[in-house]
Structure 1
Amino acid sequence: MALIDLENVSKVYDHASKPALDEVNLHINRGDFVFLVGASGAGKSTLLSLLLREEEASAGQIRVAGNDLQRISHRHVPHYRRGIGFVFQDYKLLENMTVWENVAFALEVIGTKRSTIKSIVPQVLEAVGLTGKENRMPHELSGGEAQRVAIARAYANHPAIILADEPTGNLDPTTSVGIMEVLEAINRTGTTIVMATHNEEIVNSMRKRVVELHGGRIVRDEENGMYDSALYFPDTETEQKSRLEQTMRAVREINTVVTSSMDAVQSAPAQELLADDDPDEGVARLARSVHAGRTGRYGEAFAPAEETLTWGTGIIPAVSEEAEETEEAAQKVAVPAPPKPPIPPTPPAAESTDTDTTDAHTKEGE
């Protein structure tokens, strides 16, 4: 049985002209990492609110970790939420508490012993790269640090599920990398991550499961998926422009196929040239560069987690032994060695020939 099950779920708000969610069916297994993507108003935040039980579905059934959310009583909702961590786009930190107190508070409200809190909080802060900043106040933190505090608070009691609503929405690309590192590491421990985002670069580079929403419906559910925000637009003019761009892109792809069939040897350089000339292919080139080992706009940032995982402290490029040897060799070449003394010529070896023997006898006779 899936950890999260939604069967024909709909959500209609009062005075709304159309449903926020319309007959959604979704099944998420334990340990999955799922991106919820789609334009603003597609239903991403509504879906997360239903899973957190902040909202109730208008129709359908929702089961999370064995809990039927349509039948759960209000007094049991706090106990249900103990197994779920939530990360907000705007952090939601308590401004009058330090970093340590913000994380500890999440454990205090669920009745965790004080001795246990003193043991857990330092571990969690170390995990998200905030050791040494326990006594900082929220206004003294950068955006990335504040979001890591929010993640630490959500993960403090090791929940089965973490829901994240645009956790990188207020962050620059470099800072977003550290946040994604932390979420990836948490997911590797077995925690299920459901993250709503519209960041194409992150989705296309991470290559996780992608569930795309449009108009309250799931229009795509794909493993190792990617995201192109140009596919769905509420604005008719923009949608027509997007379709024209897709048509032109298809024409270019057909021309590339024809060219490759005519000259297979030169097809690869031709395709790379076409890709470089099209700015819309930038995200696709980023993903190809990352997974092919080449460096692109964020090539180093989205390298495999096994190589770059630093628990949110930033990317530290690893230097391989081969690279170190190459660097040492270059340094040795750069410093000219002192000239060696000339080697004296080697005298020719004496050879015994018939001619030499004859000459010797002639001299003796004289």
Structure 2
Amino acid sequence: MTISPPEREEKKVRVVVDNDPVPTSFELWAKPGHFDRTLSRGPKTTAWIWNLHALAHDFDTHTSDLEDVSRKIFAAHFGHLSIVFIWLSGMLFHGARFSNYEAWLSDPLNIKPSAQVVWPIVGQGILNADVGGGFHGIQITSGFFQIWRGWGFTNSFQLYVTAIGGLVMAALMLFAGWFHYHKRAPKLEWFQNTESMLNHHLSVLLGCGSLGWTGHLIHVSAPINKLMDAGVAIKDIPLPHEFILNRDLLSELYPSFSQGLTPFWTLNWGQYADFLTFKGGLNPVTGGLWMTDIAHHHLAIAVIFIIAGHMYRTNWGIGHSIKEILENHKGPFTGEGHKGLYENLTTSWHAQLGVNLA
């Protein structure tokens, strides 16, 4: 890690945006292919339909302005995230409405998972099979039931609520895509500020994300799975929020919870070994990894990523500069081969895509 002398200090990082750069117009929705000169003339052959789909995200054909292309890619990412949330919400809704999840939880060895029932139209009902527990449907092998059990879902209502949460997140992502293209669009220098981007992705997205997931694993997943593994009836297992709000309840399963944060501040971290374990191997009841091992893993990588998020130089004189690292590297065969590489990667989305797909 290097500290920059005053004469080498780079200009301060700023978050700069353009206000209302592209007006929102619903009239364009009635003009398919408005983004392309040829397509906007209307259909001539069936190829027009295929090109309409193929060129919608081929931003280089829309404009040669790198800033505008960058903004479109950024907005498209939010659109993609919304599709992912809708997909997840759909899976959860099918699990809540059409599945035998609760029956499977009570006897996962003898009841097969099913979350899709085919309507008996023109003989298609023959696809439904007896999966056990008096349920007829198509057996699924995607592993969603096992994932939901690991997360700590114990009834269909929880799946419903999470499905609604997925739709809310999808709506937020759609709004974010519109907002960051039509209302507050970042300038080109923001997209090329790789050090800040890396710091935020490492610390906030990966670090804090892993830390938050660790909290869920410790306070919800681990205790619920411990009770299910012990054979406690699903209806007798407390609801997830009860474990979060009632420390005494957790202390019955993991005694170190009764000590609170005292072992943490006194560096007596070994006290937490009852819910942050390093057992290795597989849980003989489920055949999966130990939930407390997974929690320990996520806590460890959360710490690593939060520290890593302070590694690159931004507005302070401490930290690495990717440009300097690349240009100071003199390989035995490449020599000055890294010179100009930083500029290529920060000004060409094609280069970025090529590296990321390699």
State if a TM-score over 0.5 links the two structures: no
- Pick the structure with greater CA Rg: 1
Point out the structure with the larger strand share.
1
Report the TM-score when normalising by structure 2: 0.23
